[in-house]
Amino acid sequence: MTVANEVQKRIEEYLDTLRARLRGVKKQNAREFIEELRGHIQDRISAAGEMTPAAVEKVLAALGDPNELANEFRTNALPDETEEHTKSPIRILSILFRWASFNFTGLFMLVGALAAYLVGGLLLIGATLKPFNPHTVGLWAFHDETGDLNLSLRLGTADPPAGAHELLGWWIVPIGLLAAVGLVFTTSRLTRWSARKIKRSNVFA
C-alpha cells in the first residue's frame, strides 16, 4: 500500500466513524457536512506540505474525536429540524427527546412541550367524553378538609368530590376543544420560535 493510499484510508476511517454517529440526522445535511470536512482535512494536510500518516494523524487529532464532533453537529442541527417539523407534535417531541439527551436547553424545552401537550390532550379528552358521561366529566371546584379551594378536572373515571360544584357545565365541550387546539398550536409555534432564537445565539449547554 502506498503512502497516499494509507493516508486516504485513514481519512475514510475517521469519516466513516463520524458518518455512523450521524444516523438520524437529515441525510443531505450529514452528506454535506462529511464532504465539507473531507475537503477541510485534505486542505490541512496539503498546507502541512507532506502527505504522510503522521501529518494526517496530526490533522485528525486537531479536529477531535469523531464521536464528539458528531454529537456537536447533531446538537446544532436539531434547531433546524425543529423549525421544519413543527406541524406534527409527535415529530416535535421526537426531536426534543433527542435534543434533551445532549444538553439542558433541549431538556427544558422537552419538559415544557410535554406539559403543554398533556394539558391540551386532557382538555380534548374532557370535551370529547362530556356527552357520554355528563355527570362525571367536567371541571369541578370544591373545598378540602382545611377549607382551601381546589379545582379538579374529572374525565369520568370517578365521581366528583363530595360537595363539588361544576364550573363549566356543557361549556367544557367548546371551551375544551378550542383550548386544546390553541394550546397545541401555540406550543408548536413557541417551540419553533425558541429553536430559531437558540440557533441564532448558538446558546447550547
Question: Quick check: 74 pLDDT over 60?
Answer: yes
The helix (run of H) or strand (run of E) holding residue 140 is: strand 137-143
List the grid coordinates of 3: 503512502
Counting residues of the chain whose pLDDT is more than 70, the rounded percentage is 84
Mean pLDDT, the chain, rounded, equals: 79
Q: How confident is the model at residue 76 (pLDDT cuts 50, 70, 90)?
A: low
Most confident of 33-37, 80-84, 115-119, 141-145: 115-119
Half-sphere exposure of residue 86: CA atoms within 13 angstroms, side-chain side: 19
| Crossing angle between the packed helical segments 104-129 and 172-201, to the nearest 10 degrees | 170
CA nearest 56: which of 2, 18, 12, 1? 12
- Distance, in Å, from the CA atom of 167 to the CA atom of 156, rounded to the nearest integer, reads 16
Residue ranges of domains in the chain:
1-64, 79-205
Residue 128 has pLDDT above 80, yes or no: yes
Residue 109's pLDDT band, with cuts at 50, 70 and 90, is confident
Cell numbers found for residue 174:
367548546
- Euclidean distance between the first and the last CA atom of the chain, given in angstroms as a whole number: 44
Stronger pLDDT, 145 or 103, i.e. the higher one: 145
